[in-house]
Amino acid sequence: MLITVVPVAALLIALAAVGFFSFTQLTRTLVEQRDSELVQLAAQQVAGYWADSVYFLSSTASSEPVRTGDLERSQLLLWGSTPLAERFDRVSITDALGTITVTRGGELGENLGDQPYFERARRLRTVVRSDVHNDSSGRSVIVVAVPIFDARRGGFAGCVLGTWDLEQGSLGQALAQIRVGEHGFAYLVDSTGTILYHPSRDLIRADARQHPAVAALLNGETGAQTITFRDRTTVVGYAPIPLRERASSLVSDETWGGWGLLTSELWDDIIAPVRPKLIVMGLLLILVVALPLTIVAYNSRRIVAPLQSLVTQAERVASGEFDSQVSVNQGPQEVRELELAFNVMVDQLRKYRNDIQNYVVSILTSQEEERKRIARELHDETAQALVVLGRRIEMAEEIAHEPELAAELDSLRDMVDDTLHGVRRFTRDLRPPLLEELGLPRTLELLGYRTEREEAFRVNLSIVGQPQQLLPELELGLYRLAQEGLSNVRRHAQAEQVDVRLIYNRDAVILEIDDDGVGFDASASTSDLVRSGRLGLMGIHERARLFGGRATITSEPGKGTHIRVDIPITAIVLPPEDHEVGADDPAAIAAEGYHGEG
C-alpha cells in the first residue's frame, strides 16, 4: 500500500510544486510586461507635463510686460499665474546681469549671473535646465531658465527662472499621480543615479547607482525586472523620460536629457489578492496527500503492529526469554494464525527448557558430588602422603653429612611444600567451604578475602538488598560464576581492583564483577568466544543460561571488564519448602540429595 500511495503522493506534491512555480513565473512575467509598458507610458506623460510647465515659463518670458521690463505689471503677472504657482516652487525674473528683479517666493536682489545655467541660457538663447545644486539658502534645487528678449532692442534681457525645491515636492507632482497596483509608486533619478523625487523624503539626494534597475536605466535600457535588493523582492519598471524627443523645440537642449522614471511594487503586494486562494490550494493538497496516508497508516497498523510485536517476541525468545506471548486478538486471520502457532512454539520451548534445566541441575549435583569425592581423596590421601613425604625428607636432611645432599633435600622439601599448598588450594576450589552452613553472601566474602590475600589485586565485595534462600544448585552456580570471574581477572586482566556485587531484587538475583584491568574487544556471541579461545567467558554465559538467566560481558581495551549475570527468580530456582518432594521432580531430588550430603 505504501508503494502505491507514496509515489502518487510524491507525484501530487511535485505537480503542485511545478504548478506553483509556473504560476509564480507566469505572474512575474505578466507583471514585468505590465510595468514595462506602464513606465514607458508614464514617462511620456511626465515629459508632457514638464514640457507644458516649460511652455508656461516661455509664455511668461514672451509676455509684453516682461519683455519691456515693466516690473509692476510683471509682478502682477507672476502672482496671477496659477499654472506657474502649481508647477514650480519659486518663479523669478532677472535682468540681463542675473539680478532678480521680480519674484514669487524668491529673494529680490539676489544675483544669479554666475550660475552655469544662466550663462548657458544667455549664450545659447534656449531653455536650459540646471543640475541639482544648493541655492543661497542651502536648499537643494533645480532651476529651469528661459531667456528673455528685449522688445525694444531685441537683445538678451534676462531670464524667467522656474525653481523646483527638492524638499517641497513640486517636481514630483506628475509622478505622485502615477499608480502601480494598490501600493506601488514612482520615483525619479538623474543621469548620475541620484534620486530627485521619492515618496520617502529620506531617500531624496540618495545615490541609487547600486540598485540593479537604476544601473540598467543609466545604461540606456528600458523594461522591468523582479529584483531582490536588501531582503525585499520588488518588481521595478524603468524608462528614460523622453523630453528631447518631443516635437517642441523648447526642451531640445542637451541639459534636458538623462533623467529616468522608475516604478516599484512589492512582490508581496502583487500576490496578496491570490494568497488566500494559494492557501486554500495548499490545504487541499495537504488533504489529498494526508487522507490516503492516514488510511494507509490505519490499515497497515492492523497488519504491521502484530508482526512487529511478533518480531519483538521472537527476539526475546532467541535471547532465552520464554515467559511472554503475543496477543491474537487483532490483525488479519493469517496473522492471528501465525501468532497462535508462535505461542504454541513458545510453550513447547518453555517446557523443553524446564526439562533441560531440571536435567542440568541433576548433572550439576552429580558433578558436585564427584568434586566432593575427589576433594576428600586429595585431602585424606594425597595431602597426607605429601605431609609424610615432607617429614621423611626432613629426617633424611638431619642425617645427611654432605652439604650438597643437604641442599638438594632442602630444595626437594620446598617443592613438596609448594605441591601440598597447591593441592589444598585445589581442594578448596573443588568444594566451597561451608557454603551450606554460611550461605552464599558469607561464602563470597570468604572467597574475596582469600583471593585478595593470595593475589596482587584488591577485592571489594558488597551485598545489596535482602538476601533470600535460593536453590542450593543456584547458590553453588553463582559461587562458581564469581570464582570463574576472579580466576579470569587473575589470569588475564592485570587489574589492581575488582568490585564484586551480589544484588537481591524482588524478581531477580544479580551478580556483577568489575575490574580496572587491560580489557579486551568483547565478542558479540558465545561462538565468537569459542573461536577466540575465551572458554572461561563462554562458561559464564552457559552457567547463566542453565538457570534461565543471561550474562552480559562488556569490555574495551584499556577500560576494564564488566560482567553482569541476571538470574530471574522463578519457581525453578527457589528451594522446596512446604511441599513434599515429588518422585518425578529431578530438581527436587537433586536438592534433597544435596542437603543429605551436607
For the stretch 508-555, pLDDT in tens is 899 999 999 898 877 655 556 656 556 667 778 877 877 778 888 888
Three-state secondary structure along 132-163? Answer: CEECCCCCEEEEEEEEEECCCCCCEEEEEEEE
Q: In DSSP terms, which residues pair with 459 in a beta bridge?
A: 498
Q: Nine-digit cell at 521?
A: 574487544
For the stretch 92-115, pLDDT in tens is 999 999 999 999 988 999 999 999
Which helix (DSSP H) or strand (DSSP E) does residue 228 occupy? strand 223-229
At residue 597 the predicted structure's pLDDT band, cuts being 50, 70 and 90, is very low
Over range 419-437, report the average pLDDT.
Answer: 69
Locate the domains of the chain by residue range.
Answer: 35-271, 350-431, 434-598
At residue 364 the predicted structure's pLDDT band, cuts being 50, 70 and 90, is low
> Is there a contact between 294 and 314 (Cβ–Cβ < 8 Å)?
no
Find which of 57-71, 391-405, 423-437, 525-539 is predicted with most confidence, using mean pLDDT. 57-71
Predicted confidence at residue 588, as pLDDT, reads 36
For the stretch 335-354, pLDDT in tens is 777 777 877 887 887 787 67
At residue 360 the predicted structure's pLDDT band, cuts being 50, 70 and 90, is low
| Start-end of H helices in 455-572 | 472-488, 526-532, 535-546
Over range 183-199, report the average pLDDT.
Answer: 92
Q: Which of 203, 235, 222 is nearest to 32 (CA)?
A: 235
- CATH number for region 35-271: 3.30.450.20
Specify the long-range contacts of residues 384-392, CB closer than 8 Å, at least 24 apart.
386/416, 386/419, 386/420, 386/423, 387/420, 389/416, 390/416, 390/417, 390/420
| Start-end of H helices in 62-170 | 64-68, 71-80, 82-87, 116-124
Calpha distance 174→447 (Å, rounded) = 106
Q: Does the structure show a pLDDT above 90 at 502?
A: yes
At residue 430 the predicted structure's pLDDT band, cuts being 50, 70 and 90, is low
For the stretch 72-94, pLDDT in tens is 999 999 998 888 888 999 999 99
For the stretch 265-321, pLDDT in tens is 998 888 877 778 778 877 887 877 777 777 777 777 767 777 777 777 777 776 666
Over range 368-384, report the average pLDDT.
Answer: 71
Q: Does the structure show a pLDDT above 70 at 324?
A: no
Q: Does the structure show a pLDDT above 50 at 581?
A: no
Query: Lowest-confidence range among 219-228, 385-394, 421-430, 541-550?
Result: 421-430
Predicted confidence at residue 596, as pLDDT, reads 31
Q: Nine-digit cell at 26?
A: 507566469
Predicted confidence at residue 108, as pLDDT, reads 92
The helix/strand/coil state of 243 is coil
Over range 460-486, report the average pLDDT.
Answer: 86
Q: At what angle do helices 535-546 and 333-377 cross, to 10 degrees?
A: 110
Q: Which of 92, 89, 56, 90 is nearest to 74 (CA)?
A: 92
Predicted confidence at residue 262, as pLDDT, reads 94
Q: Does the structure show a pLDDT above 70 at 405?
A: yes
Q: 434-598: which CATH topology?
A: Heat Shock Protein 90 (3.30.565)
Q: Nine-digit cell at 183?
A: 501600493
For the stretch 27-60, pLDDT in tens is 888 888 989 999 999 999 999 999 999 999 999 9
At residue 591 the predicted structure's pLDDT band, cuts being 50, 70 and 90, is very low
